[in-house]
Copies of this chain bind each other. A is one copy, B any other.
C-alpha cells in the first residue's frame, strides 16, 4: 500500500504538508498543492481511514440496530437513516437483532468497539435488558420506536396511544362493536401503548371486550397467523381485528385466506405501519402510518447535536403523530 509517506517523498515535501493539503485545514502554496496532486495521481494513493480515525477519534461510522429488517417499517427506516447518514458523510453499520436481546447487545458492543460516532437503536427488549451504565459517555445513542422512559438517552417514537385510539375509533365509527386486537409481546412498550389506546377507545363507548379478544403475538408473521387462527376458532368471532403491526398483519391475511374469508366483506382488518404493498392489492389495507422519514431526520439531528455539543443539554423525548390512511379493509357493519 502506498502511504502518505510515499506521497510526501515523491512530491519532495513532508507528510505534514501532504496531510495539510488533503485536509485543507492549513494553507499550502499552489505549487506544492500541484506537486502533491501529481504525486497522488502517479502513485494512486488512497488515504487510510483507520489511521485517521485512530488519531482524530471520529470514524464517520454510524451504528443502526433494528429488530427485524424484513418488517417494512424498519426497511423504510433503514433506507431513510442510511440516506441521511450518507448525506452527512457517514457510513452506516447495520445490525439486525432478530428481536433477540443478546444479539442486540453483541451488536452494540461491536459498534462500540468500532468506535462509531453514534448509534440509532430500535430496541427489542425492555429497559432492564440493557446495561447502559457500561455505555461510553462519548458515543451518542438515540432510541427510536420502542423507547423506554427511564434512560438518559434521547428518544423518538410514535404517539402509540394516539395511534391505537385513532385506529380503534375509525373501526368503531363504522359500526363495529366486536373488535379484537392482536398486540405485540406483553411488556413491549410499543405494544403496551397501542393496546392502551385500543382499550381507551373501547372504554369511551363502554365496550368491554372479552379476554379472548385481546391477544399477544410476537410482532412477526407467524404470530399474526397463530393469533388470527385462535380468534377465528372462537365460538363468537370478532367482526373486526386491529393488528398491532404490519408483519403480523400479513399472517392475519394469510389465516383469513386459508379459511376463504374475505376482507372486508366477512371481517374487517386494520393495522399500524403502512407499507408499499398496502395499497397495491385487494383489499387496500387501512393503516396508521408512521412518519418514518421524520424519525430518521430527528435521529441524525440528535446524534450530530450530541456529538458536537460542548456542554450537555437535557434529553429530548420526541413523540410524533401517526397519519390515518383509510383504504378498504374496514367496512361499515
Contact surface of A with B, Cβ cutoff 8 Å? 1, 44, 46-51, 53-54, 59, 61, 69-70, 72, 75-76, 78-79, 82-83, 86, 91-96, 98, 103, 106-107, 110-115, 134, 136, 138, 221, 250-251, 253-254, 257, 276-277, 279-282, 284
A114 touches B136 (CB 8 A): no
Query: Inside 8 A of A277's CB, which chain B residues have their CB?
Result: 250, 277, 281
What are the residues of chain B within 8 A of A61 when measuring CB–CB?
Answer: 93, 114
Question: In the assembly, what is the distance between CA of A137 and CA of B106, in Å?
Answer: 31
Report which of B86, B94, B257 forms a contact with A78, defined as CB distance below 8 A.
Answer: B94
Do A257 and B276 have beta carbons less than 8 Å apart?
A: no
Contacts of A95 in B (CB 8 A): 82, 86, 91-92
Contact of A111 among B1, B91, B136, B281 (CB under 8 A): B91
Chain B hits for A276, CB < 8 A: 70, 221, 250
Copies of this chain held together in the complex:
2
Contact (Cβ within 8 A) A70 B79 = yes
Residue in contact with A79 in the complex, picked from B1, B49, B69, CB distance below 8 Å:
B69
Docked CA distance A276–B257 (Å) = 15
The reply to whether B44 and A54 form a contact with Cβ atoms under 8 Å apart is: no
- Complex CA distance for A112 and B50, rounded to whole angstroms: 10
Given contacts A78-B69, A253-B281, contact A50 B54 (CB under 8 A): yes
Chain B residue, CB-CB nearest to A68: B79
Contact sample, A vs B, 7 pairs, CB 8 Å cutoff: A44-B134, A50-B50, A94-B94, A254-B280, A257-B280, A281-B282, A282-B282
B-side contacts of A83, CB under 8 Å:
96, 98
For A86, list chain B residues within 8 Å (CB).
Answer: 95, 103, 106-107
CA distance A82 to B111 in the complex (A): 14
The residue from B50, B70, B111 contacting A59, defined by CB atoms under 8 A apart: B50
Residues of B within 8 A of A79 (CB): 69-70, 96
Q: Would you list the 3 A-B pairs with minimal beta carbon distance, nearest first?
A: A49-B113, A281-B281, A94-B94
Task: Establish whether residues A250 and B50, one from each chain, have CB atoms under 8 Å apart when the complex forms.
Answer: no
Q: Give the residue name and chain of the B residue nearest to A278 (CB).
A: B277
- Extra 10 A-B pairs, beta carbons < 8 Å, given A70-B276, A91-B93: A1-B138, A46-B112, A46-B134, A51-B54, A79-B96, A91-B114, A92-B93, A93-B94, A250-B276, A281-B281
* Contact indicator B94/A110 (Cβ below 8 Å): no
Asked if A49 and B282 sit within 8 Å, CB to CB, the answer is no
Shortest Cβ distance from A328 into chain B, in angstroms?
Answer: 10
Cβ 8 A contact of A91, one of B110, B134, B279:
B110
For the complex, what is the distance from the CA of A41 to the CA of B134, rounded to whole Å? Answer: 11
A111 to chain B, nearest CB (A): 7
Q: Which residues of B contact A59 (CB under 8 A)?
A: 50, 114
